[in-house]
Chain A
Amino acid sequence: MSNSVAPVLEAKNLVKTYGRVVAIDGADLQLFPGEILAVVGDNGAGKSTMIKCLSGAETPDGGVMELDGKPITFRRQKDSRDAGIETVYQTLAVSPALDIAANLYLGREIRKKGPLGSIFRMLDNSGMKKSAKEHITSLGIGTIQNMSQAVETLSGGQRQAVSVARAAAFGQKVIIMDEPTAALGVRESGQVLKLIQSLRERGLAVILISHNMPQVFEVADRIHIQRLGKRIAVVTPKSHTMNEVVAVMTGALTLEEKDQTLGPIR
């Protein structure tokens, strides 16, 4: 296996504790450009905590993170965004009373051109609505028509679509998705999976956290298996079966390092 391609995002020996609870205990992660890396693990394996560290929502207690080979430290969520990492959180992180366009541009609003924007700091609401509509339409969510609709009036699946559209619209290097299809119906799930694949085609690297093994095996290039706060194996959908992955996840099976796929596969 060749390691000629450098990882776009790498975490080494990450540690994060909450009081006496050790959430991640020396976890590693390697993400290569243009791949979909599925992260699977049982409840409490530390998937969400690791993702929070990578997206800047939490600061790890130990370990290093590198983006394009350069060490990174995220003090706040905005830092990771500025570095080109977008995240779809399990909780979606949408503001219910604000409308769809406002949510899409939350935290990076666009001001009007000219003195109205620079002196009076007025927002370019019509411009943001217009491009929000384009982003939502490109996702293929036909049921969302009105960008001035408050997010709380949307169904769970539509809210998820807003959150996914936000990440897809602004992600520059890496997109992290924490259970992006959890609340979606069959049709919307299919659209999100298609979208994830189109992000890969755009050259972005995607981390997909999911409990849904058929979906993982459908889109992932490699599968990172997390257990008890550590990465215990990395496999591909071709090299191993769903049952084997579940067995590794739950500790019933241990894989030798030579059987794993630690490097890029393409």
Chain B
Amino acid sequence: MSKSNLVTDAAAEFKGRATNKQKVQALLHKYPWVSSAVVLVFALFIFSFGNENFLTPNNLSLILQQTAVIGAIAAGQTLIILTAGIDLSCGAIAIFASMVMAKTAFVNGWPAWAAFMLGIAVGTGAGAFNGWLITKVNLPPFIVTLGTFNVFSALTLFYATGRTIMDKELEPFFLYLGNPIPLGEFKITYGVLLVIVMYLILAFSLRYTGWGRHVYAVGDDIEAARLAGIQVKRVLMSVYVTAGFIFAVTSWVIIGRVAAASPNSGSNLNLDSITAVVIGGTSLFGGRGAIFGSLIGAVIVGVFRNGLTLAGVDLYYQTFAVGVLIIAAVSIDQWIRKAGV
């Protein structure tokens, strides 16, 4: 009895010896998105001095609308990065799906719902193709998606014959997500709402279901996960298919946001989404991170770009600032990891 007490006391004393720095480190280790949330609040505070219009409902709604597309792509990207993968083809899949939707509806005269379903199926299929190459042909995700990024981009241009389909040519259904929800002075669009709902569903699945736990386990140590009886290939495949579905849904958000379907847009979506995920505290090495961090990360990038623009700062410096953010985020991630040892 006294012996076991001794052991407990010794362990407790050991814990009590942590310095404040170590406590912060341990907190961030447990909740990696906290640091990005702090950065967000800090940025909102700083930029409010840059321009009096920054902290207005109108401008904040605008930031959210600008963030919705990257936020949506980042949701799928987070799933993949949690498994220690990466997807460079995400933007290409979304644009491809948007062209399929718009062209089958406008050129081929399909009803909106059928064109939409086909676009979703194409996007999900593209994700499944990535997953197949990664799990069955055993290629690294970086190589697979670098290849399919080019393939899907080329297919899009080929299919769309370089033509943008404008809002007047599209049925209201496709533009629906661009409509604002009346919320006082805030002009949140249905697209923003859809992205938030998507994050809620994913956060629930990752946190409370066995599937979510397996996603983390596979990214953390794939061999350990396999030996522990997890069917790792099935988990990976499910992640790439789900991500493809998310990218396809994003294409709807894109059409609503830009009020057009253009084959030439979205070439930076892949790197922008990875930026959002990394700034949101998810580790590129897999197994660590939270999905809401990516939404915060996307908003941070949006806040920086918007805030610096309103403060009259040149575009070059905005890009510079985003670069600094990425490096700072990864540095913090490395520091946090030390708490685990």
Contact = CB atoms under 8 A, between A and B. Distances in A.
A102 interface: yes
A131 interface: no
B272 to A, nearest CB: 26
Nearest to B211: A121
Interface string B192-231: 0000000000001000111101101100110111111111
Range for the number of chain A residues in contact with chain B:
20 to 34
Contacts of B287: 95-97
Contact of B4 (A92, A107, A123, A142): A142
Given A111-B210, A123-B209, A142-B8, A106 B228 contact: yes
Contacts of B204: 120
Contact of A123 (B213, B229, B231): B213
Interface residues of B, number: 29
Contacts of A153: 340
Interface-centre pick from B210, B211, B214 (highest chain A CB count, 10 A): B210
Interface in B214-250: 214, 216-217, 220-221, 223-231
A143 interface: yes
Contacts, number: 89
B139 to A, nearest CB: 20
Interface string B3-30: 0100110010000000000000000010
Interface in A90-114: 91-98, 102-103, 106-109, 111
B305 interface: no
B224 A95 contact: yes
A246 interface: no
Interface in B29-51: 29
A125 B225 CA distance: 19
Given A109-B210, A142-B7, A145-B8, A95 B229 contact: no
A123 B210 contact: yes
A96 to B, nearest CB: 6
Contacts of B324: none
Contacts of B230: 106-107
Contact of B229 (A77, A92, A98, A150): A77
A98 B231 contact: no
B330 to A, nearest CB: 17
Interface in A196-210: none
Given A98-B216, A98-B217, A123-B209, A91 B4 contact: no
Interface string B278-322: 000000000110000000000000000000000000000000000
A211 to B, nearest CB: 21
B341 interface: yes
Given A106-B230, A142-B4, A98 B209 contact: no
19 contacts: A77-B229, A81-B229, A91-B224, A93-B223, A95-B287, A97-B288, A98-B213, A102-B217, A103-B228, A107-B214, A107-B228, A109-B210, A109-B213, A121-B208, A122-B209, A125-B208, A145-B8, A150-B340, A153-B340
In the complex, the 5 A-B pairs of residues with the closest C-beta atoms, listed nearest first: A107-B229, A93-B227, A109-B210, A152-B340, A106-B228
